[in-house]
């Protein structure tokens, strides 16, 4: 999977442009792109963001545990994500690049900030009653990023599950109270943009973002004891040979008590019924090796377990989507899962 490209009409900077991002510990600011080696930079960042700007184009690469885990590129009225964005970023020879490290609290906010889709593109502060707008968003399900731009500066507040979970501003990039954005709104002049993160993963800073899980027992041919491996509620970072990767794939990932995975491009309702993994074991393992090369071991292990336990290819594809492999974007594992589903359609009756 090479990411998605979403066409938009209208002026870049009003809808799909990146919102204000929190500032952490600056590594460098506005260096020319051609003076840097992007792949070598990620390990130096550790956890943080690399941002790029070039006239009407901009992008961000999220680095988790020294690995580039998410990327977004906005240019010419379109937004690219994943591998497609990274490809455009590598071609941005005229861009100015900045990099900073972020605390765990700030890293927890990055996902909704860069994934958010326009909900309200350009509200005027003069048109709304600010407290009532926030109250309305607090009553809705989902995570909302509210960006306020005024003559006195910019600020962002995140609304999730009935409360404002985080606020930061240009004047105070560290997390602060809701008064940061309320003070700007009190001026009565400015614009408001509201983004919604439809992915539904928590943006709550730190503390509650890690879940200690009950002990997991391996599934047998009978009813398995279901449990959850320890994991981060945000999109998993790409950790090489993550000791929990296989467990997470086998037992699913917990998101507010509900196991949920992105919809596959190959609609599951159209795939043939419950194709057993064991009937396609060689083909599936070859598919994994071709896609992941030398990093395929953890995924092959899940394929073997699925075959032993007589699971279906559809079950296996869902588990693959929950895995993490160092050096690969999550979109690559999504595509691998899609290819597994498609492989069942090519089998003779």
Identify the CA nearest to 254 among candidates 305, 223, 306, 211: 211
Reported confidence tier of residue 200, pLDDT bands at 50, 70, 90: low
* pLDDT at residue 148 in the model: 94
The residue behind tokens 């995975």 is: 261
H or E stretch at 18 = none
Using CA atoms, how far apart are residues 32 and 94, in angstroms rounded to an integer? Answer: 7
Query: What is the phi/psi pair of residue 110, to 5°?
Result: -60, -40
| The pLDDT of residue 346 | 67
The DSSP string of 184-249 is HHTT---EEEEEEETT------TTTTEE---------SS--------EESSSPP--TT-TTHHHHH
Cα distances (angstroms) measured from residue 177 to each of 142, 173, 206? 21, 12, 16
Give the C-alpha separation, 84 to 321, whole Å. Answer: 19
Residue 32: is its pLDDT beyond 60?
A: yes
Q: What is the pLDDT of residues 161-189, one digit of tens each?
A: 889 999 999 888 778 888 999 999 999 99
The 10 Å CB-count burial string (b at 16+, else e) for 98-110 is bbbbbbebbbbbb
pLDDT band (50, 70, 90) for residue 4: very low
Q: What is the mean pLDDT of the chain?
A: 75
Kindly report, residue by residue over 47-102, the tens digit of the pLDDT. Answer: 999 999 988 799 999 999 999 999 999 987 788 999 999 999 999 988 999 999 99
Residues 182-211: what's their mean pLDDT?
Answer: 70
Lowest mean pLDDT among 78-82, 195-199, 270-274, 283-287: 270-274
Count of CB atoms situated within 10 Å of the CB of 87 = 14
Residue 272's pLDDT band, with cuts at 50, 70 and 90, is very low
Q: Which residues contact 23 (CB under 8 A, 6 or more apart)?
A: 100, 173
Determine the pLDDT at residue 132.
Answer: 93
Cβ-Cβ contacts under 8 Å for 220 (sequence gap 6 or more): 309
The pairing of strands 117-124 and 5-7 is unpaired
Give 312-338 pLDDT, tens digit per residue.
Answer: 999 899 888 878 776 677 778 888 888
Please write the tens of the pLDDT for every residue from 233-247: 233 333 334 434 444
In the predicted structure, residue 8 carries a pLDDT above the cut 70: no
CB count within 10 Å of CB 131 equals 10
Nearest-angstrom CA–CA distance, 258 and 252: 9
pLDDT band at 120 (very low <50, low <70, confident <90, very high): confident
What are phi and psi for residue 217, nearest 5 degrees?
-110, 145
Q: Does pLDDT of 260 surpass 60?
A: no
Is the pTM of the predicted complex or chain greater than 0.85?
no
Predicted confidence band of residue 347 (pLDDT cuts 50, 70, 90): low
40-47's contacts with Cβ under 8 Å and 24+ in sequence apart are: 41/99, 42/66, 42/67, 42/68, 44/99, 45/99, 45/100, 45/101, 46/101, 47/101, 47/102, 47/104, 47/107
DSSP class of 33: G
Contact indicator for 127, 196 with CB cutoff of 8 Å:
no
> Which of 127, 123, 165, 163 shows the shortest CA–CA distance to 147?
123
286-301 pLDDT, tens digit per residue, is 888 888 887 888 888 8
**Looking at residues 2-9, what average pLDDT do you find?**
36
pLDDT digits (tens, 9 = 90+) for 134-159: 999 999 888 999 999 999 999 999 99
């Amino acid at each position: 999977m090479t990411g998605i490209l979403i066409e938009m009409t209208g002026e870049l900077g009003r809808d799909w442009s990146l919102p204000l991002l929190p500032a952490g510990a600056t590594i460098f600011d506005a260096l020319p792109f051609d003076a840097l080696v992007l792949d070598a930079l990620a390990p130096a960042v550790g956890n943080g963001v690399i941002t790029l700007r070039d006239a009407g184009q901009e992008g961000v690469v999220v680095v988790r545990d020294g690995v580039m885990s998410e990327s977004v590129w906005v240019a010419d009225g379109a937004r690219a994500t994943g591998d497609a964005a990274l490809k455009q970023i590598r071609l941005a020879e005229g861009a100015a690049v900045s990099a900073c490290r972020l605390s765990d609290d700030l890293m927890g906010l990055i996902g909704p900030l860069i994934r958010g889709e326009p909900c309200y593109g350009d509200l005027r502060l003069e048109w709304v009653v600010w407290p009532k707008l926030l109250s309305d968003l607090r009553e809705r399900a989902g995570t909302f990023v509210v960006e306020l731009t005024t003559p006195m500066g910019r600020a962002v507040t995140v609304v999730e599950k009935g409360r404002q979970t985080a606020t930061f501003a240009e004047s105070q990039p560290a997390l602060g109270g809701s008064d940061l954005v309320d003070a700007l709104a009190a001026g009565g002049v400015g614009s408001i943009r509201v983004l919604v993160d439809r992915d539904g993963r928590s943006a709550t800073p730190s503390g509650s973002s890690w879940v200690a899980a009950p002990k997991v027992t391996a599934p047998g041919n009978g009813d398995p004891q279901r449990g959850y491996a320890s994991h981060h509620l945000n999109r998993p970072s790409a950790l090489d040979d993550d000791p929990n990767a296989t467990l997470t794939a086998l037992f699913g990932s917990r998101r507010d008590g509900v196991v949920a995975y992105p919809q596959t491009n190959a609609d599951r309702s159209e795939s043939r019924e419950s194709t057993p993994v064991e009937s396609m074991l060689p083909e599936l393992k070859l598919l994994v090796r071709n896609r992941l090369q030398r990093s395929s071991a953890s995924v092959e292990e899940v394929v073997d377990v699925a075959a032993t336990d007589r699971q279906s290819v559809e079950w296996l594809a869902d588990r693959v989507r929950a895995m993490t492999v160092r050096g690969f974007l999550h979109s690559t594992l999504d595509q691998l899962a899609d290819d597994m589903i498609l492989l069942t359609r090519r089998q003779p009756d």
